[in-house]
């Protein structure tokens, strides 16, 4: 029997316990507010449960398999390399549970926060001028109504499915379900050449799968400079991944034997790819449609992303959106920075903004691609007077010593001010080296300060001298 409880009043209701919602709940409560945190699935958001934590745990396992196969290159001889995907999955699950339970314990251990497991939506009757009402369908079947003066939406995003004939009757994997496999696929077809497709494509190739990546555009990671995209494609091909560019998928079907048949149009003609599994990695869409935003008049764009200003407030005063649901860069560190902006403005009397912030990111292929700031192509499109520094990893002593010489380092500098505008580091420790340059950018150091700095030898960072 479904029960209906009376309306409970809070100072704030947060919808979604992701990387912004969880910290925000505890911060508001520690600031003296009574907070309800509503989560429909699992505490920690995509990052902990189906994103960063599990994928990078599995990437680490794949790298061990790769290095083990290369052991003879280092004078170390091993036996046959065998990947037990069930054990890889067990390790991944244990890591996820550790992170998830730690986040949940922190929330539940904070006075003033009530964690409610369920799905929230704005109520039919709203707009009394005193705040907002939300209906919550709890996991135990209870219907609860919450009232609050402020509402924060942190509902994240999910896998976007392409319009592809036959997909509705074909078994396919997404970024979450692929990590629950307990056996290595014979042949993994990857639809999409973004960071999700590339990370899983290389990972499963190293686990032992045959892998084919199908990319509609002319580049992998299509927002990167052409030289970066070309180098990434070459690295994947060196690892044995088949990369098809300028290739459209026209239809898919599940054959009687269980295999997946994907019909594609390539620059060389039409082809039918036959695989054991299909991963769909063609983008993400926001989880906003179930919130009944029209009841309070919150504006979204044509993809459902909630529109916000620099202080993360929607067009409706008192309603805010943070993290992936608002569109823009969909990274954990951006979601957490959204929380910091709100904490600064709502609790500390500051005037923080998300406008003009540096957005770093790392693509966790191997070697890593670390990125921050402007790329060369974007800088030239803006008409900036730039200088470009570029050096292959084969010129880095530490990379040579570890036999990890694939990729290159690239930095874009303002020729007039000597300020670093951006960088792309495709190489060993790429994300870490990009962070060094980001710190210089935050401190507004001229590139000469890095060029002339004294770094310990032999490290990858010392290559910045060159």
Phi, psi of 14 (to 5 degrees): -115, 125
**Contact between residue 160 and residue 284 where contact means Cβ atoms under 8 Å apart:** yes
Q: How many helices (H) and strands (E) does the chain have?
A: 11, 20
Give yes or no for a contact between 355 and 433, defined as CB atoms under 8 angstroms apart.
Answer: no
If one counts every other C-beta atom within 10 angstroms of the C-beta of residue 91, the result is 15
Instruction: Collapse the DSSP code of 446 into the 3-class scheme (helix H, G, I; strand E, B; otherwise coil) and give the result.
Output: strand
The whole-angstrom separation of Cα 449 and Cα 466 is 12
In contact, 252 and 282? CB cutoff 8 Å: no
Q: Is 187 a catalytic residue?
A: no
Q: Using only C-alpha atoms, what is the Rg of the chain?
A: 24
Residue 458: asked if its preceding bond is cis (omega within 30°), the reply is: yes
Strands (E), 165-247: 187-191, 210-214, 242-244
Q: Which of 277, 290, 333, 457 does the annotation list as catalytic?
A: 457
Nearest Cα to Cα of residue 389 among 415, 417, 410: 410
Q: Give the Cα separation of 38 and 137 in Å (integer).
A: 10
Give the C-alpha separation, 423 to 413, whole Å: 9
Do residues 213 and 241 touch, judged by C-beta distance below 8 A? yes
What are the tokens at 19?
A: 């990387």
Q: Which two tokens stand for residue 130?
A: 């005193």
Kindly tell me the burial class for residue 252, based on how many C-beta atoms sit within 10 Å of its own C-beta (0-12, 13-18, 19 or more): buried
H or E element: which one contains 361? strand 361-363
Q: Check if the beta carbon of residue 123 is closer than 8 Å to that of residue 134.
A: yes
Which residues belong to the active site? 457
């Amino acid at each position: 029997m479904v029960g209906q409880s009376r309306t409970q009043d809070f100072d704030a209701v947060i919808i979604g316990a992701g990387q912004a919602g969880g910290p925000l709940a505890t911060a508001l409560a520690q600031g003296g507010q009574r907070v309800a945190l509503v989560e429909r699935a699992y505490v920690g958001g995509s990052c902990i449960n189906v994103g960063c934590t599990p994928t990078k745990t599995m990437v680490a396992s794949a790298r061990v398999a790769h290095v083990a196969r290369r052991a003879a290159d280092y004078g170390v001889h091993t036996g046959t390399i065998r990947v037990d995907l069930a054990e890889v999955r067990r390790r991944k699950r244990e890591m996820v549970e550790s992170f998830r339970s730690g986040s949940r314990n922190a929330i539940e251990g904070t006075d003033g926060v009530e964690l409610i497991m369920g799905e929230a939506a704005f109520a039919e009757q709203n707009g009394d001028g005193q705040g907002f009402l939300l209906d919550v369908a709890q996991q135990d079947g209870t219907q609860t109504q919450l009232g609050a003066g402020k509402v924060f939406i942190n509902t994240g995003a999910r896998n976007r499915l392409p319009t592809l004939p036959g997909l509705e009757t074909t078994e396919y994997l997404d970024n979450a379900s692929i990590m629950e496999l307990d056996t290595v696929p014979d042949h993994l077809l990857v639809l999409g050449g973004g960071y999700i497709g590339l990370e899983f494509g290389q990972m499963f190739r190293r686990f032992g799968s045959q892998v084919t990546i199908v990319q509609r555009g002319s580049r992998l990671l299509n927002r990167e400079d052409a030289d970066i995209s070309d180098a990434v494609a070459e690295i994947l091909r060196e690892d044995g991944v088949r990369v098809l560019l300028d290739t459209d998928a026209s239809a898919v079907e599940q054959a009687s034997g269980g295999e997946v048949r994907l019909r594609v149009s390539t620059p060389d003609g039409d082809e039918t790819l036959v695989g054991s599994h299909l991963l769909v990695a063609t983008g993400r869409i926001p989880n906003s449609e179930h919130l009944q935003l029209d009841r309070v008049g919150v504006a979204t764009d044509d993809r459902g992303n909630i529109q916000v200003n620099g202080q993360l407030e929607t067009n409706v005063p008192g309603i805010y959106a943070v993290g992936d649901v608002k569109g823009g860069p969909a990274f954990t560190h951006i979601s957490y920075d959204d929380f910091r902006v709100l904490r600064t403005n709502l609790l500390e009397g500051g005037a923080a903004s998300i406008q003009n912030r540096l957005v770093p990111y790392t693509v966790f292929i191997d070697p890593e691609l670390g990125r921050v700031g402007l790329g060369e192509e974007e800088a030239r499109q803006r008409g900036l007077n730039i200088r470009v520094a570029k050096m292959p990893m084969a010129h880095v002593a530490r990379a040579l010593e570890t036999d990890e010489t694939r990729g290159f380092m690239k930095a874009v500098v303002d020729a007039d001010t000597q300020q670093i505008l951006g960088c792309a580091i495709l190489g060993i420790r790429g994300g870490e080296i990009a962070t060094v340059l980001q710190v210089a950018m935050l401190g507004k150091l001229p590139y000469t300060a890095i060029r002339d700095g004294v770094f310990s030898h032999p490290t990858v960072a010392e290559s910045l001298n060159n």
